[in-house]
A and B are shown apart, each in its own frame.
Chain A
């Protein structure tokens, strides 16, 4: 019930194209949905995040679309660039009953943007 399922596992996109990564969740207690970008040898870095009362959020070339009823959300990267090549993780967070905040990560999508 606490899983976050992410697809695809890997993605190859031409430069200038749109990269789309999808995630689904089960636990309705999740109330914050961040996306992280990770380069080899580095820790994940927060890219963009959304709360469930909003259906879409855009920051530059990155857009999150959120469908609360379907329990699905996705990341769109417009005009994809070779520098966007990285692993992307969707995540979902909730406040646990111990007062601690917990974030569950998807398994990741390895994106490669061809020049």
Chain B
């Protein structure tokens, strides 16, 4: 597609529920990133894929967070046993280069609200 597509746009989860957030990057983009953006804050790094390899997951806040990109294109961010502090916008970004040094193209994000 022309841009990075994320679904769903909005997700309301009850505390303790598992959620899965999807990202469709720009076709051919090697690098894929997940960021978490709290209200009024800048995006914070969660994890990075180069093709299907997850090269950096140092930003994942706990072992309840899991990301995958099995075929090197679509990626899913899964959050198990959601907590209220998980409420945020989850942004996916992709980049053509292997290092992302050309800048990212972000999707519009998934706003997760945990009640």
Which residues on A are within 8 Å of B, measured CB to CB? 6, 31-32, 34, 36, 41-46, 49, 89, 91, 93, 95-96, 98-108
Contact = CB atoms under 8 A, between A and B. Distances in A.
A36 to B, nearest CB: 8
Contacts, number: 65
20 contacts: A6-B42, A43-B93, A43-B106, A43-B108, A44-B43, A44-B91, A44-B104, A45-B106, A46-B105, A91-B42, A98-B56, A100-B56, A101-B98, A102-B56, A103-B33, A103-B104, A104-B45, A105-B35, A105-B42, A105-B44
Nearest to A34: B103
A45 B4 CA distance: 11
A108 B100 contact: no
Contacts of B65: none
Chain B CB within 10 A, most for which of A41, A103, A104, A105: A103
A36 B48 CA distance: 19
Counting chain B residues whose Cβ lies within 8 A of the other chain, the interface size class is 20 to 34
Interface string B23-64: 000000001010100001111110010100001101000000
Q: What's the dominant secondary structure at chain A's contact region?
A: strand
Given A43-B106, A108-B42, 8 more contacts: A43-B91, A43-B107, A43-B108, A43-B109, A44-B104, A95-B99, A107-B41, A108-B41
Interface of B: 4, 31, 33, 35, 40-45, 48, 50, 55-56, 58, 91, 93, 95, 98-101, 103-109
B100 A101 contact: yes
Nearest to B93: A43
A102 B107 CA distance: 17
B48 A102 contact: yes
Contacts of B33: 103
Given A100-B55, A101-B31, A107-B41, A44 B48 contact: no
B108 A108 contact: no
B104 A46 contact: yes
A93 B102 CA distance: 10
A43 B48 CA distance: 17
Contacts of B31: 101
